[in-house]
């Protein structure tokens, strides 16, 4: 380890302070490595050289996964080396493998430029009108009546029922699907989502839940239900954000339900990049 104030070892004990809290003012690269890993030995000096050239604008935290196994497991590290960029208390990007120096510099510069572009936007883009679950149900019922020989529409209807919070109706349509459709990827995901949907029985709609949160941001029950509704409606990132908010503000609320929600959500989503991002963010709040 070179004698540099910008390169340091991180452990389970120091990670919260030296990485998560420190990243609120200075971005931190976290290098997950091991003494036996050949590519890690190649990558380490390159990272140290790049960090030194930034003159304190970025720091490098080294995590020996042999010595800090629980920390590596919390971040879902599956191969070495793995590098993640932590900024503003969150894991925002990363890469695996011993990339060459130009690629790593491009990785950092590209990310910084992307953030700057986002911050310079004066107004968000106008969202296109979105069909409500109730509108989708009505439309799909009409389509089924017009084309009863197309059972795939029934799968769409089951998904629409789920998004409307009608778990029993969704289950009925799902059970009635022919064998070939019952093994469809969407059907399998739908079965996994039904447990989430059943938690919405008698729950308020999204508009009501948002109104409750506007009146009381600490209404964790409303935020939890909003997260489930967003997840089921297909806006997974927004739903996960609500669970993360609870975890960040009161991690032991309702016996740690936010953590349980996140873990369950990881099991029903199929976007590995999204899962990896939010798994790392969850870990950053727990350590």
For residue 130, give Cα distances in angstroms to 61, 133, 134, 269. 43, 9, 11, 21
Which residue matches tokens 């290098």?
Answer: 31
1: pLDDT strictly greater than 60? no
Q: Which residues contact 34 (CB under 8 A, 6 or more apart)?
A: 40, 64, 65, 66, 80
* Lowest model confidence (mean pLDDT) among 82-96, 128-142, 172-186, 235-249: 128-142
Positive or negative torsion for Cα 191, 196, 200, 206: negative
| Section 169-190 average pLDDT | 82
Q: Buried (b) or exposed (e) across 90-104, using 16+ Cβ within 10 A? A: bbbbbeeebbeeeeb
Question: pLDDT tens digits for 142-160?
Answer: 888 888 888 888 888 888 8
- For residue 124, the Cα-to-chain-centroid distance in whole angstroms is 22
The candidate with the shortest Cα–Cα distance to 74, out of 12, 9, 125, is 12
Q: Are 108 and 91 in contact (CB under 8 A)?
A: no
Query: Max alpha carbon distance in the chain (Å)?
Result: 74
117: pLDDT strictly greater than 60? no
Residue 246 has a pLDDT of: 95
Q: Which residues contact 150 (CB under 8 A, 6 or more apart)?
A: 143, 144
Cα separation, 123 vs 142, whole angstroms:
38
Query: Given 20, 30, 37, 91, which residue is catalytic?
Result: 37
Cis amide prior to 81 (ω within 30 degrees): yes
Q: Could you confirm whether 40 is annotated as catalytic?
A: yes
**Domains present along the chain, CATH in parentheses:** 7-120 (3.40.30.10), 133-198 (no CATH), 206-286 (1.25.40.10)
Q: Are 241 and 272 in contact (CB under 8 A)?
A: no
This prediction has a pTM of 0.45
Q: Could you confirm whether 125 is annotated as catalytic?
A: no
Q: Are 283 and 32 in contact (CB under 8 A)?
A: no
Q: Higher confidence at residue 155 or residue 195?
A: 155
122: pLDDT strictly greater than 70? no
- Under the banding of pLDDT at 50, 70 and 90, the label for residue 252 is very high
186: pLDDT strictly greater than 90? no
For residue 269, give Cα distances in angstroms to 35, 129, 132. 34, 25, 21
| Section 169-177 average pLDDT | 87
Residue 3 has a pLDDT of: 60
């Amino acid at each position: 380890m070179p004698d540099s104030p910008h390169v340091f070892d991180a452990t389970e004990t120091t990670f919260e302070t030296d990485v998560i809290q420190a990243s609120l003012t200075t971005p931190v690269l976290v290098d997950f490595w091991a003494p036996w890993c050949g590519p890690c030995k190649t990558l380490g000096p390159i990272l140290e050289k790049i960090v030194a050239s930034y003159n304190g604008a970025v720091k490098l935290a080294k995590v020996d996964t042999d010595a800090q196994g629980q920390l590596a497991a919390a971040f879902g590290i599956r191969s070495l080396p793995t590098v993640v960029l932590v900024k503003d208390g969150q894991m925002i990007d990363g890469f695996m493998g011993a990339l060459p120096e130009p690629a790593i510099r491009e990785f950092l510069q590209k990310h910084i430029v992307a953030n700057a572009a986002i911050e310079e936007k004066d107004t968000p883009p106008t969202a296109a009108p979105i069909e409500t679950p109730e509108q989708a149900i009505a439309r799909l019922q009409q389509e089924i009546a017009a084309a009863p020989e197309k059972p795939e529409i029934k799968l769409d209807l089951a998904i629409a029922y789920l998004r409307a919070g009608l778990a029993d109706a969704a289950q009925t349509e799902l059970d009635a699907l022919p064998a070939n459709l019952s093994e469809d990827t969407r059907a399998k995901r739908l079965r996994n989502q039904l447990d989430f949907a059943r938690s919405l029985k008698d729950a308020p709609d999204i508009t009501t839940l948002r109104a409750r949160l506007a009146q009381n941001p600490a209404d964790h029950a409303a935020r939890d239900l909003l997260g489930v509704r967003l997840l089921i409606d297909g806006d997974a990132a927004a739903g996960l954000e609500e669970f993360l908010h609870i975890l960040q503000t009161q991690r032991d609320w309702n016996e740690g339900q936010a953590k349980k929600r996140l873990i369950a959500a990881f099991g029903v989503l199929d976007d590995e990049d999204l899962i990896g991002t939010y798994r790392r963010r969850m870990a950053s709040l727990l350590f």
